[in-house]
Amino acid sequence: MKIEQLLIASHNQGKIDEIKKMLAPYGVRVVSARDMNLPDVEETGTTFRENAELKATQLSEISGLPCLADDSGLCVDALSGRPGVYSARYAEREENGKVIRDFDQAMERLIAELQASGSNDWSAHFSCVLAFKIPGQDCRFFEGRVNGKIVAERSGDKGFGFDPVFMPDGFDKTFGHFDKDEKAAVSHRGRAFAQFIEKEFAAAK
């Protein structure tokens, strides 16, 4: 089945831009939940896979389109895997009666918790699970992971979320210094997308 239009289950413009760039060579029209004014889906799952499936299934049903959803997060060893599936909510705060996501504050909180933990091991990894739902078919899943560590000082102004405090293994710079192409080649989302593209697009050419 040739996919001509694909709905991305996200309102995060940084994530949407990354995905659009990765899919650009395949001639698929990418629209986002934000573009279509679709609601956020409540993430009630306890794993990345469960949350990704919830979003892909619900928005595919609402829109009638093939839908790709991801759930991803930062898992820190010294914090027993937190923030994990709660990475986005970890960054939430209330301002003027509205809930906003403030990753500057989230990074400060993360460093403070690591310092308070007393651990010298700041190992961490990013995980990503993609769920791909075509109406009338079962969800298909693709997973990616990148290992690294948290650094005490934010560095770099690229990327989004926790990127400025995460240094992937094998590099001497945080994701905050990676351009989009460089990050896509090694990131958790990039690795999951490589599997997705190989299975759903490259193999169909």
**Tens-place pLDDT, residues 21-71:** 878 888 888 998 888 888 888 888 899 999 999 999 999 999 999 999 999
In single-letter form, the type of residue at position 88 comes to A
Q: Active site includes 71? A: yes
pLDDT of residue 9: 92
Tell me whether strands 29-32 and 5-8 are parallel, antiparallel or unpaired.
Answer: parallel
Q: What is the DSSP letter of 28?
A: P
Q: Which of 40, 70, 71, 157 is catalytic?
A: 71
Q: What is the DSSP letter of 39?
A: P
Structure-block tokens of residue 43 = 């993430």
Residues in a beta bridge with 168:
148
Is the CATH code 3.90.950.10 the one for domain 5-204? yes
The structure's pTM equals 0.86
Q: Are 63 and 38 in contact (CB under 8 A)?
A: yes
For the ranges 3-17, 124-138, 155-169, 186-200, the lowest mean pLDDT is seen at 3-17
Question: What is the average per-residue pLDDT within 186-191?
Answer: 90
Q: What is the DSSP letter of 83?
A: B
In the predicted model, is pLDDT for residue 204 greater than 70?
A: no
